[in-house]
Every structure is written in C-alpha cells, then in structure tokens.
C-alpha cells in the first residue's frame, strides 16, 4: 500500500510539472484529491488495514495530500502571474503613438476686434462699464434727450417689451446709468449687444454689437474727441489712417458728427471697400448735450464731455473684408476657422 502511495505521489508530481493552464490544473486536482480521486480512494480503503499499519499509511497519505495541495497552489499562483504578464504585454500602451486630435476653439472675429478696441482704450486710462440689454424707455431714449414721439425714435426700430421696457437699441443708456452713479471725471467704454427690429440682410441684423465711449470732466473739448478718435483709428486700421468728421445730428450730442476713416484698402485713392470714396464711415460722435448732463445730475456749466458710438460688426467686416454680416452669426466652423 505504501508503495502504491509513493507511485501516486510521483505520478501526481510529474503531471503537475506539465500542467500548462488552469483548466488542466483543476482536472488534476479532481483526479487525485476529488471525491473519487486516486488518493481519496486509498484513504477510504484504510479501514481494511490492520491497526499497526493504519497510522503509518495514514501519515504517508497525509504527507502526499499536503504536498499535492501545496504543489497545486504554487502552480496556480505561477499560472496567474503568467496570465497577468501576458495581459500586460498584449495591452501595452505606446505612449509615443500620435493621439487623436481635438478640435481647438478660437476667438470669434467679433471678439478679436472688441479685444483690440478694449486694449486701445484701456491703454488710454478708460474703464469698462456694462449695462443690461433689457432697458427702460427712460434710459434708452428719454434721458438721452429723445422724448416720446421724437422723430429720432423712428430711426431706431425698437423691440418693445412693455410700453416702458424695451431691448436697448444702442449702448448709450449705459452712459446714463454710469453718469447717474458716478461723479466726473468719467472715462468709460461700454461694449455690448444691441437690438433693432431690422430685417436680416448682408448689412443688417436685429442683434448687433456696439461700443460706446464717454468722457466727462472739466474742460473737455471737441479737440480731445478728435485726438482720441485719431488714436483709435490708427490703432485699429494702421498708423497711416486719417479721420474726417462730417456734421451730423444726434439728439444726445451737440455738436454731432459722423466720423470716417481713410480707406485701409486703398489709402484714400478709392477701391471696392470704400466704393471709390476713399473714406469709410465707422462711428457717430459728439459733445454730450447739456440736457443729458443735467438729467444725470452733472452741471453743464462746470463739466463738459464727449461721446462716441461704433458698431463692432461694421469694423470687423471692414477690417477682415467680410461682405455679409450673416456670416458673423451663423457660426459655421469653416468660416470661423479663417480668423
């Protein structure tokens, strides 16, 4: 019996050394240690042995069982390690491989131009002021010297929300808000979105963007306005740019002017951009009307000021040679990627 046991031991250990995967290992365990396994059978037959033989054989059988269990355990561990190593090898990441490229966003052309405008005025000591897009009729019109039924209202087709609440038609109401809450000296620009009930075409959109400028202090003159606008025009359109003022009328400034810059396409000789004129209109400006200062609690006998308002779309289209305003609002990536 002892000999039979030794045979089983060497058979089992030999088989164990040839096991190459977990399935074979489990099969081997069943073959020897399972309910009907070879070793189990022998242990079951021990009852038939004599009392002297029993402990001797029992000891050997137990030794073999232990040795087999340990052997199986260590082979199982080795197989698991091999499995993990294999997985690590096959799932290895090549960090030198080129990645998938993510599309990068970029600034909208309107934002580019607005940033340039802000830089110029911040450089001259201006602050940025903002106001709401939903305004009162008072801030948008009345306080700007445009009473009800004033013909100037017809030039700004207004989206009314109620009789006295509207979508601002220009950034000028921010002037009013600022003058009512700040004492001179005042030096601000007010960028923002404005609304007019215009039909959409190549040069009109019911939503567009303006930048308002306002300076109020003692002794501010038209000369200061012209000098400021010169700096601005050169900053945006280049050092050689000239400006020209044409008399105009705005209810909130007196005197008022429309301001042209010499054409950046042809330097004033006439081209497609300026339609042969040599000049391109870019903004409205003037000296703040005494009625407006007074309405905001500023004494026009002591203080004077200038204001100007420009359309960001117009300047952006001019500078980049964009001939249809709709392109600025459609957000087609093929268009936006060019800037």
C-beta nearest to ligand PHE: residue: 309
Between residues 16 and 110, which has the closer beta carbon with respect to ligand PHE? 110
In this chain, which stretch among 69-77, 201-209, 215-223, 283-291 interacts with ligand PHE, using CB under 6 A? Answer: 283-291
Please select the residue that binds ligand PHE; options are 32, 141, 303, 308, rule is CB under 6 A.
308
Least distance to ligand PHE, CB of residue 125, Å: 19
Between residues 71 and 184, which has the closer beta carbon with respect to ligand PHE? 184
DSSP state of 296: T
Please select the residue that binds ligand PHE; options are 37, 286, 305, 318, rule is CB under 6 A.
286
- Nearest partner of 156 among 318, 309, 326, judged by Cα: 309
Please select the residue that binds ligand PHE; options are 71, 251, 268, 309, rule is CB under 6 A.
309
Neighbours of 27 (CB within 10 A): 12
Which string of x and - marks every residue 148-187 that binds ligand PHE (by CB under 6 A)?
----------------------x-x---------------
Least distance to ligand PHE, CB of residue 153, Å: 12
Look up tokens 């300076």; give the residue.
Answer: 215
Residues 6+ away with beta carbon under 8 Å from 55: none
Which string of x and - marks every residue 193-232 that binds ligand PHE (by CB under 6 A)?
-------------------x--------------------
Query: At residue 152, what are phi and psi to the nearest 5 degrees?
Result: -60, -25
- 303 is an interface residue for ligand PHE by CB under 6 A: no
Least distance to ligand PHE, CB of residue 100, Å: 47
- 305 is an interface residue for ligand PHE by CB under 6 A: no
Least distance to ligand PHE, CB of residue 190, Å: 10
Are 136 and 169 spatial neighbours (Cβ–Cβ below 8 Å)? no
- Nearest partner of 328 among 8, 52, 112, judged by Cα: 112
Neighbours of 203 (CB within 10 A): 13
Dist CA 74 CA 80 (whole Å): 10
The string over 208-245, giving b where at least 16 C-beta atoms fall within 10 Å of a residue's C-beta and e elsewhere, is bbbbbbbbbeeebeeebbeebbeebbbbbbeeebebeb
Contact residues toward ligand PHE (CB under 6 A) are 170, 172, 212, 250, 253, 284-286, 307-309
């Amino acid at each position: 019996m002892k000999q039979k046991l030794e045979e089983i031991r060497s058979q089992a250990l030999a088989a164990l050394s040839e096991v190459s995967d977990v399935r074979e290992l489990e099969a081997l365990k069943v073959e020897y240690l399972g309910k009907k396994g070879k070793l189990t059978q022998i242990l079951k037959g021990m009852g038939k042995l004599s009392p002297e033989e029993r402990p001797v054989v029992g000891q050997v059988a137990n030794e073999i069982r232990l040795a087999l269990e340990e052997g199986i355990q260590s082979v199982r561990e080795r197989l698991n390690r091999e499995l993990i190593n294999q997985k690590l090898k096959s799932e290895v990441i090549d960090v030198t491989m080129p990645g998938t490229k993510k599309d990068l966003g970029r600034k909208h052309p309107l934002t580019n131009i607005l940033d340039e405008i802000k830089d110029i005025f911040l450089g001259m000591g201006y602050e940025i002021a903002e106001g709401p897009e939903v305004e009162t009729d008072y801030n948008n019109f009345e306080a700007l010297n445009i009473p009800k039924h004033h013909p100037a209202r017809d030039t700004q087709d207004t989206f009314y929300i109620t009789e006295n609440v509207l979508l601002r038609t220009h950034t000028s109401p921010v002037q009013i808000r600022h003058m009512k809450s700040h004492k001179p000296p005042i030096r601000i620009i007010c960028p923002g979105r404005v609304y007019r009930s215009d039909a959409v075409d190549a040069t009109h959109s019911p939503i567009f963007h303006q930048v308002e400028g306002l300076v109020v202090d003692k002794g501010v003159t038209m000369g200061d306005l012209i000098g400021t606008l010169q700096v601005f025009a050169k900053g945006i359109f280049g050092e050689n740019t000239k400006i020209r003022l044409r008399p105009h009328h705005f209810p909130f400034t007196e005197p008022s002017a429309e301001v042209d810059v010499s054409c950046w396409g042809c330097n004033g000789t006439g081209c497609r951009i300026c339609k042969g004129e040599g000049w391109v209109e870019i903004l409205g400006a003037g000296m703040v009307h005494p009625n407006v200062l007074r309405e905001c609690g500023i004494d026009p006998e002591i203080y004077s000021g200038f204001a100007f308002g420009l359309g960001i779309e117009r300047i952006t289209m001019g500078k980049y040679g964009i001939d249809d305003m709709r392109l600025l609002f459609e957000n087609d990536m093929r268009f936006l990627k060019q800037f």
